[in-house]
Structure 1
Amino acid sequence: VYLNKRKWIEASTYPRFTMIGQSLGSVYLAWEALNKFTPQFYFDTSGYAFTYPLAWLFGCKVLCYTHYPTISSDMAERVKQRKSMYNNNSLISGR
């Protein structure tokens, strides 16, 4: 099954607000995937936790190993300190 909405989870799609964009994009991609094929078990190995409630609404049993949080404490600390990085350019981090 080919998914057309894959670009919505790519970091390059979001030069700013990358984590928010990818989180919302993962729901959009999951919607497309679950409409094409709804499995009995929904396995997540990528850490797209925002898709779990959607899979549950489609009647799937959600199984996952989320090996990292969507937004970790070190990411939040960088925002608090207004640090610019590869996915948080100075235009955003300085505000």
Structure 2
Amino acid sequence: MMLLGFMAKALKLEKGEMEELFEDGMQSVRMTYYPPCPQPELVMGLTPHSDATGITILLQINGVDGLQIKKDGVWIPVSFLPDALAVNVGDVLEVSPQTPFSLSK
């Protein structure tokens, strides 16, 4: 919840507005590990989608690129910095009238 508080402060939201979006949530934390595929040439990947989450925190540990974002109609690979986390803002924050940004356009 501290991360949400920092995001709210950066967006100049009222105290508690960001946290209210997650009060009735069924899931607070989920961790997933995707091990390297022994035959990556056979992997098809995912179709373009949006994430139905509030935030996703990503740590790339195997050096394999895969995450992409769509900007100006073009898919761009996300480059990770060594020992850094990437924070992906999901649909829950996009559809809130309090947040001044939209990520699907």
The normalised TM-score by structure 2 is 0.28
The normalised TM-score by structure 1 is 0.29
The structure whose residues are more often helix, as a share, is 1
